């Protein structure tokens, strides 16, 4: 899937101007105005409205007044200009202004239309609920910009129904800044120009860590409607006229230009949202338009038309990364106050839902079942796409769009794989359960967005099921995976198995973490039957998972067969786990590939097998060798660091040295022991616990802990 944005990481563009990353045109949406339902202006009688117009060219006063006539309720007008004689001319045009009071003031010719508005009238802006900012734009420096002013006026003040649509949007609370879709001739020139350093300093004063690889969006032409609160962060800076340079005809590189480009970012700092608006006849790309047919659809339209800019760096959050596990998805705050518990998982593909994925789903549901208060639940698939087959693993859940917000659905699944233009909504009262290091990596990014958007974030719960850096050897992935273990102040660790917990505690200091003690899957255990043991060697065959030592396992079997051909001829070798091509095991005789089995079929083969072999080159014990041993099979596995599964069961043989030759020797010993059990009913042997220093996991205790953060 191609990226929905034009990613520009270069440091120099045309004429030396700094380029910016932008949404691709076909993904850059705008809300169509007017809306397709009747809106009565009387419903806005409670609003205090003001228009701030900078009229540098007084001959345009009549045009501006004509457009202001489309505002269908009383409002106050504040006009700024730069000379007394212009003031007189403007006052003459507006002398009979009737909707409210009209104030015309002269300010020094600094900061174009921006400084008179934000500095000259700074004491007035916050006295109103909704404000409009206009100016007598001419853009004399470039002929192709002819018509820009008229275009902006049409979108903001083109008719009473347009203004009513704008009032409805702002009054609904769905949006705080509305500005015209970009005028066609300027679209290719939307960049940081020579303003980036000024923007970074300005936004830095507002607490924003700004960077060039954040998508650029702003009211080009600096005309807009807004709730006054969206401008409060700028007003709080206490800017003065002297902060703006004297007017010398600059077309870029001034504080006014930097503020213009910062307005959408400032709106987000205030906790608000922005969106672009346009009349259908003024937009050539009709597929970009979002129509609003009912008043209830305004919030949805804003969600579809806007993006969260701050906190979403396109070079890390949105582009396809060189590290393939890391997900290309952006985030946005969601207004809902409902608490939500979200599982971040690599996949829901049925062929992959076993082992760690199944354990994560089971743990998630266990915790969810213990919440005392009503909590929404969400499963987010970050690696694989979600199709209808996947939903079999999430019964009771509904698949929703990546950007779906404030849905009334209580149990949802989201496909966050690939590169999409929508952004994953995050709530203030939301806590994440991650499993697999790359989902934790994304989870920490989501946590950062929560802090940026809401001022604080609860801890991430991190279900650790193996020492995942060792999946890769010393490499970039190793370092990235390991980095998630050093975020102890941001996370609560839940470690699967005593063996793995002891390893993690020794290497990373997880003193205040939970461990999940091994217990056989009760659904699997319910299928155990006392079958007569047969001459079957059941192996856990996963060629796609290197830590399961598939090559050593097959080579060890081959050596055992070649060393003991007479005995080996009587034994079937059955592989459960993954499907794979038969040629991979062509050097092993009597070999059958069963692949992934249902629980009942897996239990049946466990109970009938006299010998089991399951390797795991990691500190995690893995379930198969323990399941084999519990079902009565003499089981061969390997030691790792301090892991020794022979401490859990007399049926388990743990080899110190994992080579084909040593494995072949252990297979021979296991087969010799198992011969005495052939024909006898399986003897189920409980798996013993081993000492562990951590806190034993309790779904009820964890749920109670989570509720403290999200209630």
**What is the average pLDDT across 141-145?**
64
Per-residue pLDDT tens for 271-326? Answer: 999 999 999 999 999 999 999 999 989 999 999 999 999 988 877 654 445 677 88
Please say if the pLDDT value at position 666 is more than 90. yes
Q: In 3-state terms, the chain is what percent helix, strand and coil (to 5)?
A: 40, 20, 40
Looking at residue 521, its pLDDT comes to 83
Looking at residue 15, its pLDDT comes to 67
Please say if the pLDDT value at position 39 is more than 70. yes
Taking each helix axis from N to C end, the angle separating 196-204 and 255-269, rounded to the nearest 10 degrees, works out to 40
Compute the distance between CA of residue 166 and CA of residue 414 in angstroms, rounded to an integer: 32
Domains 5-305 and 522-677 share a fold: no
Claim: this prediction has a pTM higher than 0.85: yes
User: pLDDT confidence of 1, banded at 50, 70, 90?
Assistant: very low
Average pLDDT value for the chain? 92
Point out which residues pair with 415 in neighbouring strands: 381
Determine which helix (DSSP H) or strand (DSSP E) holds 196, and give its type and residue range. Answer: helix 196-204
Per-residue pLDDT tens for 75-124? Answer: 999 999 999 999 999 999 998 887 889 999 999 999 999 999 999 999 99
User: pLDDT confidence of 352, banded at 50, 70, 90?
Assistant: confident
Per-residue pLDDT tens for 461-496? Answer: 999 999 999 998 899 999 999 999 999 899 999 999
CATH topology of domain 5-305: Spore Coat Polysaccharide Biosynthesis Protein SpsA; Chain A (3.90.550)
What does the DSSP 8-state code read for residue 20?
A: -
**What is the average pLDDT across 127-146?**
83
Please say if the pLDDT value at position 511 is more than 90. no
Is residue 620 a contact partner of residue 467, using CB atoms and an 8 Å limit? yes
Please say if the pLDDT value at position 420 is more than 50. yes
| Percent of the chain's residues with pLDDT above 70 | 98
Looking at residue 461, its pLDDT comes to 96
Strand intervals (E) in 181-318: 224-227, 274-278, 289-290
Looking at residue 529, its pLDDT comes to 92
Give me the CATH code for the 522-677 domain, please: 3.40.50.2000
Residue holding tokens 């102040």?
489
Torsion of CA 387, 390, 395, 398, to 10 degrees: -30
Please say if the pLDDT value at position 189 is more than 90. no
Residue 220: which of 260, 184, 259, 192 has the closest Cα?
Answer: 260
* Residue 640 C-alpha from the chain's centroid: 36
Compute the distance between CA of residue 554 and CA of residue 351 in angstroms, rounded to an integer: 23
| Percent of the chain's residues with pLDDT above 90 | 77
Per-residue pLDDT tens for 198-222? Answer: 999 999 999 998 999 899 999 999 9
Question: What's the CATH number of domain 320-516, 3.10.310.40, 3.40.50.11090, 3.40.50.620, 3.60.10.10?
Answer: 3.40.50.11090
**What is the average pLDDT across 15-26?**
83
Please say if the pLDDT value at position 670 is more than 70. yes
Compute the distance between CA of residue 454 and CA of residue 88 in angstroms, rounded to an integer: 48
User: pLDDT confidence of 14, banded at 50, 70, 90?
Assistant: low
**What is the average pLDDT across 248-275?**
92
User: How many secondary structure helices (H) and strands (E) does the chain include?
Assistant: 21, 28
Is residue 658 a contact partner of residue 552, using CB atoms and an 8 Å limit? yes
Compute the distance between CA of residue 180 and CA of residue 274 in angstroms, rounded to an integer: 11
Sign of the Cα torsion 59, 60, 66, 70 reads negative
Looking at residue 139, its pLDDT comes to 65
CB atoms within 10 A of CB 394: 22
Compute the distance between CA of residue 558 and CA of residue 564 in angstroms, rounded to an integer: 10
Which residues have C-beta within 8 Å of that of residue 701, sequence separation ≥ 6? none
Per-residue pLDDT tens for 217-246? Answer: 999 999 999 999 999 999 999 999 999 998
Domain residue ranges in the chain: 5-305, 320-516, 522-677
User: Rounded to a whole number, what is the distance in angstroms from the first to the last CA of the chain?
Assistant: 38
User: pLDDT confidence of 263, banded at 50, 70, 90?
Assistant: very high
């Amino acid at each position: 899937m191609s990226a929905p944005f034009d990613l520009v990481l270069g440091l120099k563009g045309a004429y030396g101007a700094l380029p910016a990353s932008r949404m691709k045109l076909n993904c850059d949406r705008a809300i169509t105005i007017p809306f397709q339902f009747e809106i009565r202006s009387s419903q806005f009688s409670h609003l205090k409205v003001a228009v701030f117009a900078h009229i540098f060219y007084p001959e345009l006063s009549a045009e501006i007044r004509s457009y202001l006539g489309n505002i269908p309720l009383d409002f106050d007008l504040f006009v700024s200009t730069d000379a007394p004689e212009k003031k007189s001319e403007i006052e003459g045009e507006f002398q009979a202004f009737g909707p409210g009071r009209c104030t015309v003031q002269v300010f020094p010719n600094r900061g174009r239309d921006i400084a008179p508005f934000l500095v000259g009238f700074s004491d007035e802006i916050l006295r109103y609920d909704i404000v409009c900012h206009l100016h007598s734009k001419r853009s004399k420096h470039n002929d192709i910009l002819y018509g820009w002013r008229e275009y902006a006026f049409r979108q903001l003040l083109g008719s009473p129904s347009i203004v009513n649509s704008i009032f409805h949007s702002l009054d609904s609370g769905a949006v705080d800044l509305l500005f015209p879709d970009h005028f066609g001739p300027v679209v290719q020139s939307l960049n940081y120009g020579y303003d980036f350093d000024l923007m970074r300093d300005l936004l830095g004063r507002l607490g924003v860590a700004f960077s060039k690889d954040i998508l650029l969006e702003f009211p080009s032409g600096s005309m807009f409607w807004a709730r006054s609160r969206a401008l409060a962060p700028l007003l709080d800076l206490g800017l003065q006229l002297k902060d703006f340079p004297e007017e010398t005809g600059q077309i870029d590189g001034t504080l006014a230009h930097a503020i213009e480009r910062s307005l959408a970012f400032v709106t987000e700092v205030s906790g608000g949202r922005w969106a672009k608006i346009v009349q259908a006849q003024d937009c050539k790309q009709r597929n970009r338009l979002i129509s609003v047919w009912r008043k209830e659809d305004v919030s949805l339209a804003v969600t579809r038309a806007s993006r969260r800019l701050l906190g979403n760096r396109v070079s890390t959050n949105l582009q396809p990364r060189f590290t393939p596990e890391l997900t290309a998805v952006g985030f946005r705050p969601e207004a809902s106050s409902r608490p939500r518990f979200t599982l971040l998982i690599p996949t829901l593909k049925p062929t992959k839902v076993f082992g760690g994925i199944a354990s994560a789903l089971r743990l998630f549901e266990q915790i969810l079942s213990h919440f005392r208060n009503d909590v929404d639940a969400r499963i987010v698939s970050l690696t694989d796409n979600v199709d209808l087959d996947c939903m079999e693993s999430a019964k009771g859940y509904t698949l929703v769009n990546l950007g779906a917000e404030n849905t009334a659905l209580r149990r949802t699944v989201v496909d966050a794989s690939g590169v999409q233009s929508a952004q994953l909504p995050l709530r203030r009262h939301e806590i994440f359960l991650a499993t697999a290091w790359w989902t934790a990596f994304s989870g920490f990014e989501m946590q950062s967005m929560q802090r940026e958007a809401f001022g604080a974030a609860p801890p991430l719960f991190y279900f650790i099921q193996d020492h995942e850096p060792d999946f890769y050897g010393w490499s970039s992935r190793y370092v990235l995976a390991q980095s998630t273990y050093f975020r102890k102040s941001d996370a609560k660790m839940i470690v699967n198995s005593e063996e793995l917990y002891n390893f993690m505690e020794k290497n990373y200091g997880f003193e205040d973490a939970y461990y999940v003690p091994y217990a056989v899957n009760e659904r699997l255990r319910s299928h155990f039957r006392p079958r007569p043991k047969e001459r079957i060697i059941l192996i856990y065959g996963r060629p796609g998972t290197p830590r399961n030592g598939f090559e050593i396992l097959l080579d060890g079997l081959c050596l055992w067969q070649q060393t003991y051909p007479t005995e080996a001829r009587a034994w079937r070798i059955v592989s459960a786990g993954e499907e794979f091509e038969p040629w991979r095991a062509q050097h092993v005789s009597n070999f059958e590939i069963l692949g992934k089995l249902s629980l009942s079929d897996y239990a049946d083969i466990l109970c009938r097998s006299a010998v089991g072999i399951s390797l795991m080159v990691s500190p995690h014990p893995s379930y198969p060798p323990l399941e084999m041993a519990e079902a009565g099979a003499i089981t061969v596995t390997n030691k790792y660091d301090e892991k020794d599964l022979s401490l859990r069961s007399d049926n388990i043989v743990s080899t110190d040295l994992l080579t084909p030759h040593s494995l072949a020797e252990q297979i021979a010993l296991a087969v010799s022991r198992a011969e005495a059990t052939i024909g006898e009913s399986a003897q189920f042997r409980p798996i013993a616990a081993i000492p562990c220093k951590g806190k034993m996991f309790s779904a009820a205790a964890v749920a109670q802990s989570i509720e403290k953060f999200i209630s």
